[in-house]
Structure 1
Amino acid sequence: MDFPDASSEKPYPPRPSDRRGFEIAIICALTLEADAIEALFDHHWEDDGLPFDKEPGDPNAYSIGMIGRFNVVLAYMPGIGKVNAATMAANCGKSFPSIKLALVVGICGIVPFGPAKDERILGDVIISNGVIQYDFGRRRPEDFIRKDTLLDVLGRPNLEIRGVLAKLKALRYRRRLTAKIECYLEILQQDQDLCAEYPGTTEDRLFEASYRHADNQRSCKQVGCNGELVSRSRLSTIDVPLRPAIHFGLIASGDTVMQSGEDRDRLASTEDVIAFEMEGAGVWDSFPCIIIKGGCDYADSHKSKVWQRYAAATAVACAKAFLDFWTPSVTQDRECFDQRNRLAREVITQESIVNQTVIPQQAGENATTKLRTHYLPLSRNKNFTGREGAIAELQKLLFTDPNGQRVALVGLGGVGKTQIALQLAHLVRKEDKGECNYSVIWIPALSMASFEQACTKMISKFGIEQTNGENPKETFKRFLSSETAGKWFLIIDNADNNDTLYGTAEAPGGIDEFIPDCEHGYILYTTRSREVAVSVAQNNVVKLSEMDDEDAKALLQSSLIDKAQMQDTALIEKLLHKLAYLPLAITQASAYMKANEISVNEYLRLLQNTEQDMVELLSCGFRDSTHYDPSQGAIATTWIVSFKQIRAIHEDAATILSTMAYLEPKAIPRALLPPLGSEQKMTRAIGTLCGYSFLSKREDGETFDMHTLVHLATQRWNQEDRLETGIRQMAFRHIAEVFPYDDWDKREVWRQYMPHALRLLTNTDGADTKDRCQLGYWVGRCLLLDRRTLTTAYRFNGQIKEAVDLLEHVVAAQADLVENHPSRLASQLELAVAYRFNRQIKEAVDLHEYVVAAQADLAENHPSRLASQHALAIAYQLNGQINEAIDLLEHVVAVQAVTIPEDHPDRQPSIVRLQYCCDMLEEVSVSGESDGLETDD
C-alpha cells in the first residue's frame, strides 16, 4: 500500500508572469470553505511581488497562490446558488483565460444510502462524475417535469477528467487518495481557528425520511426531535473519528436547499444522484469542472451547522489530494523546478515569520542582524477581563527583577493561567507604542510530541537552517541561544508533568533540556503542579486563585448576549458562587447558555437539579480560538486530565482524592483519610494534592478543604474508571473503624466526623454490610445522645430525622439475622428510641413491643430485657397508655429490688418514672384529660 511521504519535496511552479499562468480555479460559496482552501496553500503569491489584479469590470474577489505543482486562483462567490456561480465563473474566465480545470469545493447534503445499501455518513467526500439540474423544468399544478433533453442537460466531463476519475476509482489509487486526504485533513485540524475537528458519531443522527423537523428556526435539540434513528454499521464505534470515505457519482445541483428526506430519496431513486448542492451547475458550462463536496447533512429537514466546518475540511483535503493526481498542462524542466524550490523556501520563510521586524544593532554590537519574531497559535481572548494584579506581578518578576528570568504561574485547572499568559504575551508583543523589544514565542508542553511538533513548525516558519544530524529540538535551542535571536519571551504552557519536562530513565531528555538558560531569554511557565513550578522557577512562583466578585461579574457580562440579566444581582451572585468564581466555568456556562438559548435562571436551575446534572453541565466543552481543543473548554474534563497525571505519578495521592469524593468537601479531618502505611507517605500525598490546588490546608494543619467543583468531578472520574465500589468499601471500612463510640467525652471528635459519615451513608452501594451497619449504628447513637443534651437545637436542625433514617437503614440491613440476635435487637431498640424523639409514637410502641417479645427467652433479671421493658413503658406513657406503663414499671422495679442493691443508681430511673406515671394517672382522674406526650426524658 502506498502512502504520501510528508517529507518529500514536490517540484513547485514558478511565479507566473501574468494572469495567464494560472490554470486551476477553485470556487467556494462560503467563507468557511475558502478559509480551509487558503490554509492548504503552499504559498500566497499576494504576499510577495506586485499583485496580479483582474480584468476591468470583473466584480469577483480572488486569492492567488500555489498548491502543489499548480498556480491556483481561489474565487470567492458573492452568494450561494447557480446564478451567482455562473456569473462568477464567466468573469473569472475573462481575468484568468488559461483556466483548464475548475474545482467547486465545499459542503453538500448527501443521500445516506446507495442502491446496494452502501452507507454514506457525514464528513464523507462526494466527487462528481456528472451533474443534473434537478430544479430545471416545468412546474405543473399536479407535478414537476425536469427538462432532460439533449439540449437541456449539462454535458459529461471531458476525456481528461473522466480518465483521472477512472484511475482514482481503482483500488490502489483510491487508497492513495484516501491516505492523502487524511494527511491534509490532519494539517487543517492543527489550525484551531478552522474548527475542523471531527464532531463525533453521537452528532451524526439520521431520522427516518418521513420524520419532519418541527421548527426551522430552532435546532433538533431545542425542538426535541425524538423520531426513530436509522442505525448505520459505520457508526458503531462511539465518538472515534472515522476516516472520511470517498463516493463517486451524480450530483444534483439547484437553487433550492433540499430539506425533505422523502424528496431526497425519490430523486436518488429516479435520477441516481448521491448528493445535493447549489453551485456546480452554474460553473459546469464555463470550465471543465469537478465538484468535490463534504457531506454536512442528509438533505432533510433536520439541518445543523455542527458538521459544516469538518465537512468543508474533508472536501478541501480531497481537493488538494486530487490535484496531486492531476497533470499540469505544460511540462516544466527540472532547472525551472529547482529554481522554484529555492525561491519557495525563501518566500515561505519570509511569509511565515509572523509580524517579523529587523532590529538594527547599536554601535559597538556585533554586525549580526537580530530578528523580532512572534509565534502565538492561540488568538487573543476578546472577553478577557480583570487579573491586573497577577499580570503586574508577572511583568515585575519577568522584566524588572534581574533574577527573574524564569517565572511560574501555578493554579487549579480552569483558574485562568493560559488566558493570563496569553494576555501578557499580546501585551509584550505590542508594548512601547508598537515597538516590541522581545520576540514572543508560545510552546505547548502537553507532551514531548507536541513540543517537538511546535519546534518543527517554528524552525520552518522562521527559516532556521538545520545542520546535518540535528533534530528540530536541538535546532530550536541553538537558535534561541544565539545572538541572532535577540531578546525573546517564551511561554511554556501546560507544563504539568515532570516526566515531560525532565524525561525518565526509559526516555531521557525532556523539554527542559532544550530550553536555553541565557541572559536574553525570559520564560513563563504555566502549570497546575506546584512541584513543577518550584523546580523550574524556584522562588519566582505566582499562585493564581479564583476570580474576585467584581472580575467574575465583568467576565460573565462580557460573555452573555443578554446583558440585562446582570441586573438581577442576587441571581448572578448565586450562579457565580455555584461556579466557584472559576473563569473557565463561567465562560463554559455562558457558552452553554448561548448555544442552547437559555437564561441564567434556567442554567442555574439545571446546576441545582442534581449533582449528576451539574457534572454533565461542567463536562460540556465549547470551541474557541483561545484553547487547543474543545476538551479544554470543559472544567470537569480538564480536571480529569490532572487526575490521570496524579494517578500516574502518585498512586497514594489518587487514592486519597478518590476517597474524599464521598465525604463532605469541607473540614475533612486527616484521621478520616485512608491509611497509607506511613506518615511520610500521607504527607507527600497530601502535598501533591495541595500542589495541584485540589486541597487546601487549614491553619491547624490537620483539616482540609476540597474545592466543591473538584469534589463533583472526582466522583465522575471514579465512575468512569469503575473505581466507585472499591473506593466506597475502603472508605466505609476505615471510617467505621475510627468513628468513636457514643462516649460523651469524645463528643468533639464525633461532631467533627459526623458530616462526613452522614455523607458516606447517603449511598451505601457496594459497602460491606457489617461496616455500614456498624457505622450507621454508632452515628445514630451519637445523634441521639447529642439530642438528649441539646434537645431544642438539634430537634430543629433535623438531626433526629437523620438518626431515624440511619437506624431504619441499619435495621433493614440486619433483616437476615435471626430475630433474637443481640445486634439486631440493639439496633431495633435504638430505632424505637429515635421514633420516640421524632414523635412517631405509634411506631415506637410497636417496635418496643416487638423487642420485648423477642427477649422473652432471656432471664427475667437480664439487664437488656429490663432496659427494653423500661423503654416500652416510656413509649406507653407518651402514647397515653398510662395503666400499661405503670404495670410494666412496677414489674421492672420489683425485679430490680431483688437483683440490685437499694442505693444502686440503675434503680432510680425506673422508680422516678413509675412515680411520674402514678402522679399523671391521678391528674387524669381529677381533670379527665390525658397528656401523655408531656416529656420523653
Structure 2
Amino acid sequence: MKKQAESGSVESATTTAVWPVLKDCQREITRLQNILDKTVPSVGDSSWERRKKAFLSLGKDKEVEEIADSLSRYVRVLTLHQALEGSKPDSQAPPKYEPARPRYFTLVPFDRNAHFVDREDVFKQIDDSFRVRKGSQPKVALFGLGGIGKSQIALEYCFRRKEKDPECSVFWVHAATIARFEETYKRIATECGIIAQEEEAQVDATMLVQNWLENRHEGRWLMVVDNIDDTEVFFKEPMTNQKTVSQCIPRTWKGSLLFTTRSRDIAIDLILPAKPIPVPVLTKSEGAELLRSRLPGNHSEEHIIELLEELEYIPLAITQAAAFMSKRRRTIPQYLDLYRKSDSARVRMLSYEFSDHGRQYNSMESVAKTWTISFESIRRGNPRAADLLSLMCYFDRHAVPATLLTGEDEDELDFEDAVAVLCAFSLIESDEAGTSFDMHNLVQLATKLWLIDENKGEEDKWAFEALKSLARNFPAPLHHTTPEYWQLGRDFLPHAQLILAHPFKTQRDQIELARATLLFSVSRYLHWRGAVMDAKVKNEESLKIRERILGEKHLDTLRSMSQLAWMYPWISMEQEGVDLGQRCLELRREVLGPEHPETLDGLSDLAMAYQMQGRLLVSEEMQRQAYEASQRVNGPEHLDTLNCLSHLASVLDDLGRYKEAEAELRKVIRIKSRVLGEENSSILSEMHNLAFTLEHQGRHKESEEVYRQVLALKTKIYGKTHVETVTTLVNLVLLLQDQKKYFDIQELSGWFSGEAELVQENENPRLRQAMRTLRRFSFRPPGDVASESSDSGYSDDEGGEELAAVAEEKEDLKRGENPNKILEVA
C-alpha cells in the first residue's frame, strides 16, 4: 500500500484515510506476535521453557481478544476502501513506476583473500561438477575438516566465476544457524529490491528470495551456501515461516549451488546422486607458499617443512602459527621448540586466537575453537560418536583397532553409525575394512582441550576407559606364542605404552589394578620380542601394585611373581630367579594345592631357573616331577605337559645326554604336529632345539636341514627381523662356519642385509651378542675362495682374523650363552 501511494497509483484522499488504519493494524499485529513469542512453545524448547511459557500465557486471553476485535474492525475498514477503489475506472490509476535496478548482483560479504594459495585440483573438480545436462541444476558440495580451507576455496571461486562471467549474479548465504540464514536472505531481498527495507519485519523474505531466484531473476546466478554443519538445523528445524532451510534453497537450472560442510554425509545428502568433493590438506608446495605469504622473511626450506609436518599441512593451523610468530616475534625454530615442550604447550598454542580472513562475524579464531564447533555438533547429533572421539584421545593416533573402541555388549550397528559420523567430519580416517582408525594429531590435542574446558574432570574418565579396554584386550601371556598373539601384540603395543605413561590425576585402586593387568600382559609380550629389560621393569611394577592392593597370596599377585621369576635368568639374574621362584612355588602350594596346574607350571619354571644357574641334576629332578604330575593332572597330550617334557629335554642336552634329549624332543614334535598341525608356532622351539641337539652329536647335515626348515617357517610366521627368526639364523650360520660353507654363509648374510637393525637387540644382551656374531659374516670368504672375486672387501689375513674372532665367540655361546638356550626353551 505504501509503495502504491508513493508511486501515485492511489489517490491522496484514500491514502490519507487508510494509512493510519494500516499503521494501527501493524501495531496490533506486532503486539500479538510478542505475546505468541512469549507464550507459545517452539520445537527446540526445553521442558522448563515450555512450563515457563504455559505460566506466562495465563491472563493473556483478554489481551488477545482485544487485539482480535481491533484487527476485525480494521479489516472491515480496509475492505470498504478496497471496494471503493475497485469501482473506479482504470483510466484514473496513474502508470506504475519502479526505480531502475541493476540486472546482476554480487553479494559476497568478504573481499578477496590476498594470501589465498591456488588449489587448482579442487577448482578443476568444481568446474567439472558444474557441467551437467541441460535443464539440470549444477550443484557442488565441498566437505572436509574444519580449518581445511573450504570457505576460502568457495570465496575464491566466487571471484573467479565473476571474472569469467560478469553477467552472473553471485550470492553468499550463511547456513550455520537458522538466524544467520534468515538474516542473509533478508539482505538479498532488500539489496536486490525485492522488498523495501522497512518491510523486512512484515514479509517472508526467504520465500520471496527463493521465488525471485527461481522465476524472476534475469540471467545466471551462483549461490554459495556456507557452513552446513548441522543436519537438524538445515534439514529439520523450522524457521519463522515453518519451513526448513533446505526447503528454501532455490531449485532452477539457471542457478548454480556451491555448498560447504564439514560432514561428508551432509555433502552426499545435498547433491545426490552427484559425488561431493573432499578438500584435502595442503601439498608441501602449497603449504610452503601459504606460510611464506603469511610470514615474510628469510626462512630455510628445512625449517618450513619441519613446521608444516608438525601442523599436518592444515591451512588454519599454518595461518595461526604464522600469526603467533608475527605477534611474538618468534622464528620458526623458536616456535617449534615451544610447541614441542609438552602436550599442554601444544594445546595452549592451538587455542591462540587471531583474526582470519573471511571467517564468520569477523571474530577472533583458533584451531581449537574451530574444531570445538564440530565436537559440539557431533555431541548433539550422536553422543556415542562424541564418546568414541573422547576415548580415542588416549590411544596412539595411528591404527587404533576397532576392538579397543567397542563396548563389551555394544550393538554393532550403533558402533558403525558412530564411527561413520566421525569419518564424515574428517576427524578420523578408517581403513578399507573398517577395523582400524587414524586420527590427526592436532584433532587429538584439540579434543583433549575440549574435554578439559567443556567437561571438567572427564580427562581421567576417558583415560581410564582406554586403560580398561587395553587391559581387557591385550593378549594374555602364553607359554608358546601364536601368529594371532604376535598380531594383536603388534596392534596394541603402541596404545598400551601411551596409556601406561598417562599421568592420572587420581590414583584409585581400580586404576592401579587395571594398570597392573596391562603391565603384566605387556611385559610378557615384550619379553617374547626380546626386549627383556623393559619387560622386567614392567613386570616388577605389576607385582608391586598387586602386592600392595591385593596381598601376596592373591592369584594375580602370584602370576606376576611367577612371571618375574621366569624372566630373571634371561638377564643373568639366575639366583634372583631361583629365590623368587621358590617363594612363588611355596605360596601356590599353600593357596592352590601341590598339584594345581599353576603350581606345576611354577615347579617347571623353577627347574628352568636352576638349569640356567648350572644346577642341572636338581633341574632334571624337578622337571621330571613337574612332567609326571602334569600327566596325571592335565593328561599326556596337554600343552603344559608337553612343555614340561620339552624343558626336560633341554636339561638332558645340557647334561650331554643327547640321545635322550633327541628322543624326548621328537616325541613332543610328533604329538604337537598331530594335535596342532605341522606349521604351528608352538612346535618351532622344539624343532630348533632338536637341530641344536643333532649338532651336538656331530650330525651336521641333519641339523642343517632342521635349522633351514625352522628358519623358513619362522620367517613365514614372524618375519625376518623377529628375535625368534634371528636366533635360528645365528645358530645356522655358526653351524655352516663349522663346516666351512662360506658361500652358504654369505648367501644368508645377504638375505638378512639391511634389516638387522630393526631387531630390538639393544634390549637383550644375548641377542646383541648373537647379532654381533651374525654381522661378522658380512664379508667374502677368505683364502682361495675369496680371491676369486674382485669384490672381496677383506684380504686373506683380515678374513682369517674375522673367523678367529667368530670362533672365539662361538665357544662363548656354546658355554651357556647360546641364544637358543635362552630364547627357545621357554
**TM tier, smaller:** 0.5 to 0.7
User: Shift of residue 422 of structure 1?
Assistant: 1.0
Q: Which residue of 2 aligns with 1:558?
A: 293
Please give the secondary structure, in 1, of the residue aligned with 2:355: coil
Please give the secondary structure, in 2, of the residue aligned with 1:408: strand
| CA separation of 1:459 and 1:814: change in aligned 2, threshold 3 A | farther
Q: Which residue of 1 aligns with 2:175?
A: 445
User: Shift of residue 668 of structure 1?
Assistant: 2.4
User: Shift of residue 781 of structure 1?
Assistant: 4.0
User: Shift of residue 877 of structure 1?
Assistant: 6.4
User: Shift of residue 527 of structure 1?
Assistant: 0.3
Q: Which structure carries more helix by proportion?
A: 2
Q: Which residue of 2 aligns with 1:424?
A: 157
Please provide the CA RMSD for this pair. 3.8
CA–CA separation in structure 2 for the residues paired with 1:838 and 1:439: 78
Question: Residues 543-597 of structure 1, C-alpha deviation per residue, up to 9 Å, x if partnerless?
Answer: 11111222122212222222x21x333x332322221111111111111111111
Give the AA of the match of 2:368: A
Is 1:613 equivalent to 2:340 in the alignment? no
Please give the secondary structure, in 1, of the residue aligned with 2:395: coil
Q: Is the 8 A contact 1:732 1:772 kept in 2?
A: no
Please give the secondary structure, in 2, of the residue aligned with 1:383: coil
Q: Is the 8 A contact 2:542 2:560 kept in 1?
A: no
Matches for 1:548-587 after TM superposition, within 5 Å: 548-562=283-297, 564-565=298-299, 567-569=300-302, 571-587=303-319
| CA separation of 1:668 and 1:906: change in aligned 2, threshold 3 A | closer
Q: Which residue of 2 aligns with 1:650?
A: 382
Is 1:700 equivalent to 2:586 in the alignment? no
CA–CA separation in structure 1 for the residues paired with 2:334 and 2:522: 41
Please give the secondary structure, in 2, of the residue aligned with 1:581: coil
Q: Is the 8 A contact 1:593 1:603 kept in 2?
A: yes
Q: Which has the higher contact order (CA 8 A, sep 6+)?
A: 1
Q: Which residue of 1 aligns with 2:402?
A: 670
Is 1:526 equivalent to 2:260 in the alignment? yes
Q: Which structure carries more strand by proportion?
A: 1
Q: Is the 8 A contact 2:471 2:514 kept in 1?
A: yes
Q: Is the 8 A contact 1:631 1:638 kept in 2?
A: no
Q: Which residue of 2 aligns with 1:756?
A: 495
User: Shift of residue 917 of structure 1?
Assistant: 6.9
Please give the secondary structure, in 1, of the residue aligned with 2:822: coil
Give the AA of the match of 2:366: A
User: Shift of residue 785 of structure 1?
Assistant: 5.0
Q: Is the 8 A contact 2:533 2:571 kept in 1?
A: yes
Q: Is the 8 A contact 2:185 2:206 kept in 1?
A: yes
CA–CA separation in structure 1 for the residues paired with 2:143 and 2:536: 44
Is 1:383 equivalent to 2:112 in the alignment? no
User: Shift of residue 387 of structure 1?
Assistant: 0.5
Q: Which residue of 2 aligns with 1:936?
A: 822
| CA separation of 1:800 and 1:751: change in aligned 2, threshold 3 A | farther
Give the AA of the match of 1:560: L
CA–CA separation in structure 1 for the residues paired with 2:161 and 2:628: 94
Give the AA of the match of 1:598: R
Q: Is the 8 A contact 1:892 1:910 kept in 2?
A: no
| CA separation of 1:592 and 1:405: change in aligned 2, threshold 3 A | same
Choose the corresponding residue for 1:661, options 381, 393, 401. 393
| CA separation of 1:506 and 1:936: change in aligned 2, threshold 3 A | farther
| CA separation of 1:687 and 1:899: change in aligned 2, threshold 3 A | closer
Q: Is the 8 A contact 2:353 2:365 kept in 1?
A: yes
Is 1:716 equivalent to 2:602 in the alignment? no
Matches for 1:238-637 after TM superposition, within 5 Å: 370-398=102-130, 402=134, 403-431=136-164, 436-466=166-196, 469-481=202-214, 483-484=216-217, 486-504=219-237, 508-538=242-272, 539-562=274-297, 564-565=298-299, 567-569=300-302, 571-628=303-360, 633-637=365-369
Aligned length: 549
User: Shift of residue 763 of structure 1?
Assistant: 2.7
CA–CA separation in structure 2 for the residues paired with 1:548 and 1:469: 50
CA–CA separation in structure 2 for the residues paired with 1:817 and 1:841: 27
Question: Residues 142-181 of structure 1, C-alpha deviation per residue, up to 9 Å, x if partnerless?
Answer: xxxxxxxxxxxxxxxxxxxxxxxxxxxxxxxxxxxxxxxx
CA–CA separation in structure 2 for the residues paired with 1:465 and 1:599: 54
User: Shift of residue 755 of structure 1?
Assistant: 3.0
Choose the corresponding residue for 2:460, options 706, 721, 725. 725
Give the AA of the match of 1:407: V
Choose the corresponding residue for 2:372, options 634, 640, 644. 640
Q: Is the 8 A contact 2:526 2:535 kept in 1?
A: no
CA–CA separation in structure 2 for the residues paired with 1:588 and 1:390: 23
| CA separation of 1:632 and 1:694: change in aligned 2, threshold 3 A | farther
| CA separation of 1:700 and 1:681: change in aligned 2, threshold 3 A | same
User: Shift of residue 772 of structure 1?
Assistant: 6.6
Question: Residues 881-930 of structure 1, C-alpha deviation per residue, up to 9 Å, x if partnerless?
Answer: 64xx458536625744874669864554564565577689xxxxxx9999
Choose the corresponding residue for 2:545, options 795, 812, 819. 812
CA–CA separation in structure 2 for the residues paired with 1:503 and 1:895: 75
Please give the secondary structure, in 2, of the residue aligned with 1:526: strand
Give the AA of the match of 2:179: A
Question: Residues 103-140 of structure 1, C-alpha deviation per residue, up to 9 Å, x if partnerless?
Answer: xxxxxxxxxxxxxxxxxxxxxxxxxxxxxxxxxxxxxx
Please give the secondary structure, in 2, of the residue aligned with 1:585: helix
User: Shift of residue 460 of structure 1?
Assistant: 4.2
Give the AA of the match of 1:544: V
Question: Residues 22-44 of structure 1, C-alpha deviation per residue, up to 9 Å, x if partnerless?
Answer: xxxxxxxxxxxxxxxxxxxxxxx
Please give the secondary structure, in 1, of the residue aligned with 2:340: helix
Give the AA of the match of 1:480: L
CA–CA separation in structure 2 for the residues paired with 1:613 and 1:837: 41
| CA separation of 1:490 and 1:803: change in aligned 2, threshold 3 A | farther
Q: Is the 8 A contact 1:808 1:831 kept in 2?
A: no
How many percent identity over aligned positions?
Answer: 26
Question: Residues 706-760 of structure 1, C-alpha deviation per residue, up to 9 Å, x if partnerless?
Answer: 2232222222223332333333344444444444434534323343333334433
When normalised by structure 1's length, the TM-score is 0.53
Give the AA of the match of 2:384: D
Q: Is the 8 A contact 1:447 1:500 kept in 2?
A: yes
Please give the secondary structure, in 2, of the residue aligned with 1:664: coil
| CA separation of 1:719 and 1:844: change in aligned 2, threshold 3 A | farther
Q: Is the 8 A contact 1:502 1:509 kept in 2?
A: no
User: Shift of residue 533 of structure 1?
Assistant: 1.2
User: Shift of residue 479 of structure 1?
Assistant: 4.1
CA–CA separation in structure 2 for the residues paired with 1:806 and 1:525: 56
User: Shift of residue 869 of structure 1?
Assistant: 5.2
Q: Which residue of 2 aligns with 1:88?
A: none
Q: Which residue of 1 aligns with 2:760?
A: none
Please give the secondary structure, in 2, of the residue aligned with 1:372: coil
| CA separation of 1:764 and 1:886: change in aligned 2, threshold 3 A | farther
CA–CA separation in structure 2 for the residues paired with 1:692 and 1:931: 62
Q: Which residue of 2 aligns with 1:784?
A: 524
Q: Is the 8 A contact 1:877 1:932 kept in 2?
A: no
Q: Is the 8 A contact 2:569 2:577 kept in 1?
A: yes
Q: Is the 8 A contact 1:406 1:524 kept in 2?
A: yes
Give the AA of the match of 1:752: D
CA–CA separation in structure 1 for the residues paired with 2:343 and 2:470: 24
| CA separation of 1:838 and 1:667: change in aligned 2, threshold 3 A | farther
Q: Is the 8 A contact 1:621 1:633 kept in 2?
A: yes
| CA separation of 1:856 and 1:662: change in aligned 2, threshold 3 A | same
User: Shift of residue 848 of structure 1?
Assistant: 4.0
User: Shift of residue 394 of structure 1?
Assistant: 1.3
User: Shift of residue 602 of structure 1?
Assistant: 1.8
Q: Is the 8 A contact 1:690 1:696 kept in 2?
A: yes
Structure 2 unaligned spans of 5+: 1-97, 658-810
